[in-house]
């Protein structure tokens, strides 16, 4: 249950769902807060724009293998993860919940929920398949976290992101 969320440290691959939460600091300057609200509005009204940017950053990381700035490919994205979900909330992965893993953009950004999401947060929820055959390992999610951070930088600017955004990694059953 979501109310039992904890920081990720121990569990390996299995039937866990993981959440990557991006949270803007309360003391962020007004300009950064306005950019953050605009990003959240874009995610809520047209998530495909943000998802397309995220997929571009993931693909760029794959294409840049061997370049100095390429991210580590110890656990590279799988081809089935590099597909936009055909869902209103947006996300990536296979569309069949029974057999495919997914990362969804949480749409409950304006309401308080048991695991602490509020209007000032963006949450990506990594869900394994219902049948347990296609699951996430925490180490795999680092690439997705880092490239979504790049999307935030695209919208906020580098200094706004690096100094004013906190990233938290949670897991829940």
What residue spans define the domains of the chain?
2-172
Pairing of strands 165-172, 6-7: antiparallel
Please tell me the pTM assigned to this model: 0.77
pLDDT band of 103, cuts 50, 70, 90 = very high
pLDDT computed for residue 31 by the predictor: 87
pLDDT computed for residue 111 by the predictor: 44
Residue 48 has pLDDT above 80, yes or no: yes
Q: What is the DSSP letter of 95?
A: S
Q: Average pLDDT in the 139-158 region?
A: 85
- Terminal Cα distance for the chain, rounded: 6
Helix or strand (DSSP H, E) at 165: strand 165-172
CA distances to 29, 136, 171 from 73, in Å = 35, 16, 23
CA distances to 44, 83, 117, 130, 144 from 39, in Å = 9, 21, 16, 31, 18
């Amino acid at each position: 249950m979501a109310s039992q969320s904890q920081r990720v440290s121990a569990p390996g691959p299995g039937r866990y769902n993981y959440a990557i939460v991006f949270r803007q600091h309360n003391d962020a300057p007004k300009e950064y807060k306005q950019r953050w609200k605009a990003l959240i509005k874009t995610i809520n009204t047209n998530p495909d724009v943000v998802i397309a940017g995220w997929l571009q950053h993931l693909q760029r990381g794959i294409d840049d293998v061997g370049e100095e700035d390429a991210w580590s490919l110890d656990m590279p994205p799988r081809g089935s993860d590099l597909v936009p979900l055909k869902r209103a909330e947006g996300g990536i992965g296979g569309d069949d919940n029974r057999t495919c893993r997914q990362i969804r953009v949480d749409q409950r950004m304006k309401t308080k929920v048991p695991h602490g999401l509020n209007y000032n947060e963006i949450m990506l929820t990594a869900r394994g398949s219902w049948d347990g055959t296609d699951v996430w390992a925490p180490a795999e999610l680092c690439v997705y976290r880092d490239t979504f951070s790049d999307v935030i930088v695209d919208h906020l600017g580098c200094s706004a992101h690096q100094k004013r955004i906190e990233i938290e990694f949670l897991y829940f059953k």
